């Protein structure tokens, strides 16, 4: 058996966080299950939805509750009491394959980062594919991602994203730079396979072991934005590789749950806040000095964006 054949047969976990995303799951989940292989597993983090998400999942996958006594020896970001969520298990069987299903239902709304951190703990495989509930997969996407795993120093692999199957607008490969006292980011100029500044939490393939070593998403970026940039920044500082694979294609419709909950004005201010949090946390001493010097300028920009 060749190495690539062995990798191709490796089982992976798929994590989908969701909050009031029943319509999105119904629309996009079939493509994810079609792309998954026999023996893979799906872990859904239901963040205290009130839109009948759980009832639908329970019917679809014949879910039964599993008693979780306690969580031990977990990083700070994972210190949740077992009473804070319920765990259910079921399965998906079709197309000559069986996929294990785990659904974690939070007792209260945790938001994106904490929901993903919790789901990562319950993945039973060495790598997991983290995708939003508004993402559809091309049929060969997961197989291609598996074949990226040829380097033990690999932390994450990102996908080429299109808004839909008819669009030519690309995203998924990113750049990050420091300018005027603040870290800033943008889409890359080219979308060839290679290194990327970070892998999006909307469609990223991650090493579970390295994820747990880093402590997962930093909850200081609550409720969302910049947490995936921060995670990959910390991984690259350790010498781990953060990669982009142009052949692994997903369709990300960006039906933002955060926008529905908070509104555009609040989202803009959250993004500003988390940009400054990221900069202060990850900058050098000289960069911190520049951050302070440029703070009045960025304060004006932030006020103008309201």
pLDDT at 5: 46
The pLDDT of residue 1 is 44
Q: Is the pLDDT of residue 184 over 70?
A: yes
Q: What is the pLDDT of residue 85?
A: 87
Region 169-190: what's the mean pLDDT? 96
Over residues 197-224, the mean pLDDT reads: 94
Task: Locate the DSSP E strands across the chain.
Answer: 13-18, 41-46, 64-66, 85-94, 97-106, 127-131, 135-137, 154-162, 174-179, 182-187, 194-195, 203-207, 241-252
Domain boundaries, the chain: 3-304
pLDDT class for 131, splitting at 50, 70, 90? very high
Task: Report phi then psi at 212, rounded to 5.
Answer: -65, -35
Would you place residue 244 in the very low, low, confident or very high pLDDT band (cuts 50, 70, 90)?
Answer: very high
| Average pLDDT across the chain, whole number | 90
Residues 49 and 107 sit within 8 Å (Cβ to Cβ): no
Q: Is 218 helix (H, G, I), strand (E, B) or coil?
A: coil
- Whether residue 46 contacts residue 104, with contact meaning beta carbons closer than 8 Å, is answered with yes
Query: Which residue has better confidence, 260 or 196?
Result: 196
pLDDT of 91 reads 96
The third-level CATH classification (topology) of the domain covering 3-304 is Spore Coat Polysaccharide Biosynthesis Protein SpsA; Chain A (3.90.550)
Give the chain's radius of gyration (CA, Å).
Answer: 19
Q: Across residues 144-150, what is the average pLDDT?
A: 92
Q: Which sign does the torsion angle of CA 9, 90, 32, 271 carry?
A: negative
User: At residue 220, does pLDDT exceed 60?
Assistant: yes
Answer for the pair 176, 233: CB distance below 8 angstroms, yes or no: yes
Contact 22, 257 (CB under 8 A): no
- Sign of the Cα torsion 192, 195, 199, 203 reads positive
76-102 pLDDT tens trace: 555 455 558 899 999 999 878 999 999
From the list 138, 157, 117, the residue with the least C-alpha distance to 12 is 157
């Amino acid at each position: 058996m060749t190495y690539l054949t062995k990798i191709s047969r490796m089982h992976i976990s798929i994590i989908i966080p969701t909050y009031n995303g029943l319509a999105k799951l119904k629309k996009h989940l079939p493509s994810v299950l079609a792309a998954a292989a026999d023996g893979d597993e799906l872990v859904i983090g239901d963040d205290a939805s009130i839109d009948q998400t759980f009832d639908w999942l329970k019917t679809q996958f014949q879910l039964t509750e599993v008693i979780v006594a306690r969580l031990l020896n977990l990083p700070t970001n994972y210190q949740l009491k077992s009473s804070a969520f319920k765990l259910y298990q079921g399965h998906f069987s079709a197309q000559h394959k069986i996929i294990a299903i785990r659904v974690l239902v939070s007792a209260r709304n945790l938001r994106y980062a904490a929901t993903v951190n919790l789901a990562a703990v319950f993945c039973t495989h060495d790598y997991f594919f983290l995708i939003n509930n508004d993402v559809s997969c091309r049929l060969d996407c997961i197989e291609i991602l598996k074949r990226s795993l040829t380097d033990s120093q690999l932390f994450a692999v990102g996908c080429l994203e299109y808004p839909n199957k008819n669009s030519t607008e690309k995203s998924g490969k990113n750049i990050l730079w420091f300018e005027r006292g603040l870290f800033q980011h943008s889409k890359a100029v080219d979308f060839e396979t290679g290194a990327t500044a970070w892998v999006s939490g909307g469609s990223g393939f991650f090493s579970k072991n390295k994820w747990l070593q880093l402590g997962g998403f930093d909850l200081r970026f609550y409720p969302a934005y910049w947490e995936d940039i921060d995670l990959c920044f910390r991984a690259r500082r350790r010498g781990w590789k953060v990669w982009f694979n142009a052949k692994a294609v997903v369709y990300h419709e960006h039906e933002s749950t955060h926008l529905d909950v908070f509104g555009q004005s609040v989202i803009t201010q959250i993004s500003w806040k988390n940009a400054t949090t990221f900069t202060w946390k990850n900058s050098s001493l000289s960069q911190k000095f520049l951050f302070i010097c440029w703070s009045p300028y960025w304060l004006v920009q932030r006020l103008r964006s309201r």
